[in-house]
Amino acid sequence: MSAGPATPRIPARIAGREAPAAPVPPAAPPPAPPPTPARMRAPLKPGRILLWAFGVLAILFLLAPVLAVLPLSFSAGSFLHYPLPGLSLRWYADFWSSDFWLPALWNSLRVGAAAALLAGVLGTLAAFGLWRWRFPGQAVVMAVLLAPMVVPAIIVAVALLLAFGPLGLTSSFTGLILGHAALGAPFVVVTVLAALQQFDATQLRAAAACGASPVRAFWRVCLPQIAPGVAAGAVFAFATSLDEVAVALFIAGPAQRTLPRQMFSGLNDSISLTIMAAAMVLVLISGLMLLAVTLLRRPR
Amino acid sequence: MAQGTNAPLKARLAAAALVAPLLLFLLGVFVLPIGAFLFRAVQEGEVAPVLPRTLAALSAWDGTAPPGEPAFAALVEDLREARARDQQAGGGGIARAAARLNADLPGFRSLLPMTARRVAQPFEGEARAAVLAISEEWGGIAPWGAIRRAGGPVSDFNLLAVLDLKRDATGSLATAPPDEAIFRAILWRTLWMGLLATLICLGVGYPLAWLIATAPPRAVPWLMAGVLLPFWTSLIVRTAAWMVLLQREGVVNAALGALQLTSGPLPLLFNRGAVLLAMVHILLPFMVLPIYASLKSLDWRLPRAAVSLGAAPALAFWRVTLPLSLPGVGAGCLLVFIQALGFYVTPALLGGANDQMLPYFVAFYASRTVNWGMAAALSCLILAAVAVILAVYGRLVGFSRMRAA
């Protein structure tokens, strides 16, 4: 199983996979099998049990809070605690019929898809350029391309509010999409660079020798092979947009309210169980994205 | 990279052409907006257009004694002109200048408009006497010092203010009065919360990563799913979950009440513990995943060799396994700490008034009081902290080794 999208780790992990005959392929037993660490520590039975107990508790801590509150969205009552007075879909009906929840979901999906598309195209081109040719100042360019990952979103949000105001881009879908694409682009660059590490550049030369133009060689030879990486990068960009509150809070108008933004106002105001229904929707989308990335990352 | 540094010019141009769209895009919607925003931390544009002659008269003033008649005469002339301009064209120049000066010297918000209103009436004799008759405050050093400090075009006023420092009329530094000195405490709180979250994540995350890296292959996908599912779950959903769990009528209090463990609902929400709990919950996967990656790629024959050479398992861990996994630990700590410094949504929803961190005050100054200078200065503080952490990491671990993590 492949690990998730933590940022700088990706190139490496996939880079490690690039050489199938590497001395220590992590999951499969190596040719001259050194004992697995588990077996190595076999005599330390109590320690092992303690480690399992600790690990399971830690995972419970990670999973339990969200799993514990999601069933509340099926409540027939309006309390935020158990036992449920009965089961119903009234909060989902509320989500469906209200004036702002469903539009917020559509806004989120639209902005996320557009931002992922923009970040995906720009990020893939940039990653290919960075990988194919070395040029002076590459380290600086790389630092600029990855900077949105380390600058807190609230600073980006306020800066964009100031910059977009005079341009008429605040309270517009264009502005929100541009902001979210900037935040998502580094994830595309990192993921596509990782995918390119598995791609053998001699194929491009072979394509050129066969008379293909560089564009055609990229389109027909390289892109099909790195497509899973490109798609995974686009999913990360989509997830970044779908998770984003601060920029949406500052530069979106009432017509561009995204689902997280709507949840933020709801939580600030008074918590209704409709928020839990919205949370359920977001969790389902997150699950789909995790599934998509896991399938895309599976070694072929 | 596929080709070396000696790539022909054509190839370099091709690379530039491919990278340029994203680079220009990020320059336009990221680098330039942030640069322009941060510049507001030092920009002074409110006072100079309103009081140009006063500033000129104060340029040679030494700040040790109240200025003489020329400064008062210039002030009167400036205020008359500014008031006439405000009344003709609107614009509220005096009000904006007063708001900026009020940030330096409380009381200016009313002093300046009042003075402008009163000096608009013609008077006989010295300007100094007339202005002092309006308010004794003008007889002191402080208002003149504040005017000169705000004269611009740039000043360090906001940057000093977020460090609880200010300059007096002569230009020397002094600590801000206690009732204004809140920002050092907020900075320490932000760093402290980030450090605590990082340490707790490390303490919980390392054993968990170790377990996943050493678990039987059959169990790995399940353990991994336990880390990745929360990782992919939206931050706002996880924050909402904690809110519902911890609030007065929430799941935890209801359960405790039903078990008759508590006599009444506990105040679990809107405190620092709730913020820290949610921060650790949200950031833990960022610690586990890099450590897991570095443990997984580790050559397990090395600690085994140490043990077979007579090292106790604990010593083998301490001297061999742990150092080999340090790139993952470093990357995890970096990711967690940097993100903790930028946490806005979670503390805003789960914390009380005294649990807010620097990002909250950036948002506060940007949206509530519309003081861009302070919002920018606080942003500079956060970015400086991020830069220091990145630099320390670069020194200790190095970014090339991060790839290996």
Calpha distance A154→B159 (Å, rounded)? 19
Q: What confidence tens digit (pLDDT) does each residue in A10-67 have?
A: 333 333 333 333 333 444 444 444 445 544 444 557 888 999 999 999 999 999 999 9
Fold of domain A90-297:
MetI-like fold (1.10.3720)
What's the whole-number mean pLDDT along residues B245-252? 86
Name which of B230, B233, B237, B239 is nearest B347 in CA terms: B239
Lowest average pLDDT, out of A176-180, A275-279, B136-140, goes to B136-140
What average pLDDT does this structure show over A226-243? Answer: 93
Which positions in chain A touch B2 (Cβ < 8 Å)? 131-133, 201, 204
Chain B interface includes A154 (CB < 8 A): yes
- How far is A246 from chain B, CA to nearest CA, in Å? 8
Angle at A3 between CA B328 and CA B192, to 5 degrees: 45
Residue A240 is encoded by which pair of tokens?
């970044």
Amino acid at B43: Q
Among B23, B363, B403, beta carbon nearest to A11: B403
**Residue percentage of chain B with pLDDT more than 90:** 43
The residue with greater pLDDT, A17 or A224, is A224
Q: Does B390 touch chain A (CB under 8 A)?
A: yes
The per-residue pLDDT for A27 is 44
**A192 interfaces chain B, CB cutoff of 8 Å:** no
Beta-carbon separation of A134 and B5 below 8 A: yes
pLDDT of residue A17: 35
At B203, which CATH number? Answer: 1.10.3720.10
Determine the pLDDT at residue A193.
93
Determine phi and psi for B167, rounding to 5 degrees: -100, 145
Point out the domain boundary residue: B150, B176, B211.
B150
As a whole number of Å, the CA-based R_g of chain B is 29
Please identify, among B150, B170, B195, the residue that sits at the C-terminal boundary of a domain: B150
Domain that holds residue B265: 184-404
Specify the pLDDT at position A104.
94
Is B287 within 8 Å of chain A by CB? Answer: no
How large is the average pLDDT for residues B63-76? 87
Mean pLDDT within A233-244: 94
Return residues 318-347 of B near A (CB < 8 Å). Answer: 328, 331, 335, 338, 341-342, 344-345
Per-residue pLDDT of B189-207, as tens digits, reads 999 999 999 999 999 999 9
For the residues B63-79, what does the mean pLDDT come to? 87
Calpha distance B279→A15 (Å, rounded): 31
Is residue B228 located within the same domain as residue B144?
A: no
**Residue recorded with tokens 């360090």:** B156
Nearest one of B42, B39, B71 to B148, comparing CA atoms: B71
User: Angle at the Cα of B325 (from B323 to B326), degrees rounded to 5?
Assistant: 65
Specify whether B277 is located in the same domain as B354. Answer: yes
The DSSP call for residue B43 is B
| pLDDT greater than 60 at residue A6 | no
Q: What is the DSSP code (8-state) at residue A41?
A: T
Taking contacts as CB-CB distances below 8 angstroms, the residues of chain B near A63 are 226, 229-230
**Cβ neighbours of A52 in B, within 8 Å:** 211
Domain C-terminal end among B150, B175, B203: B150
Q: Do B14 and A132 touch (CB under 8 A)?
A: yes
> B24 and chain A: CB distance < 8 Å anywhere?
no
Q: How far apart are CA B257 and CA B262, in angstroms?
A: 6
- Rounded to whole angstroms, how far apart are CA atoms B243 and A271? 9
Q: How far is residue B145's CA from residue B108's CA, in Å, rounded to a whole number?
A: 12
Would you say residue B69 lies in a domain?
yes
Q: Is B196 inside any structural domain?
A: yes
Cα B9–Cα B15–Cα B17 angle in degrees, nearest 5? 100
**Which residues in B lie closer than 8 A to residue A59 (C-beta atoms)?**
208, 223, 226-227
| Facing residue for A80 by CB, picked from B1, B250, B289 | B250
> Residue B331: which residues within 8 A CB-CB, separation 6 or more?
A6, A8, A9, B290, B294, B397, B402, B405
Cβ of B383 under 8 Å from any chain A Cβ? yes
Asked if A130 and B1 come within 8 Å (Cβ–Cβ), the reply is yes
The stretch B53-63 carries a mean pLDDT of: 87
CB B38 within 8 A of CB B162: no
Name the DSSP letter for residue B45: -
Using CA atoms in the order B224, B203, B345, B248, what is the torsion angle rounded to 10 degrees?
100
Task: Give chain A's mean pLDDT.
Answer: 84
* Nearest of B321, B22, B139, B290 to residue A130 by alpha carbon: B22
Structural domain total, chain B: 2
| A4 vs B5, B26, B228: nearest CB | B228
Question: Is the domain of B200 the same as that of B92?
Answer: no
Q: How far apart are CA A238 and CA A258, in angstroms?
A: 13
For residue B87, being part of any structural domain is answered with yes
Paired tokens of A242: 């779908």
Same domain, B104 and B209: no
Q: Which residue has the higher pLDDT, B217 or A135?
A: B217
For residue A219, the chain B residues in CB contact (below 8 A) are none
Question: Do B45 and B152 meet the contact criterion of CB atoms below 8 Å apart?
Answer: yes
- Tell me: do B289 and B192 sit in the same domain: yes
Q: Is residue B172 part of a domain?
A: no
The two three-digit tokens of residue A9, written as one number: 């780790």
The answer on B214 and B120 residing in a single domain is no
Q: Judge if B292 and B395 occupy the same domain.
A: yes
Q: Please give the Cα distance from A298 to A1 (Å, whole number).
A: 7
Is the pLDDT confidence value at A259 over 70?
A: yes
Is the CB of B270 inside 8 Å of chain A's CB atoms?
A: no
Please tell me the pTM assigned to this model.
0.87
- Cα separation of A275 and A277, whole Å? 5
The pLDDT, as a whole number, for residue B268 is 87
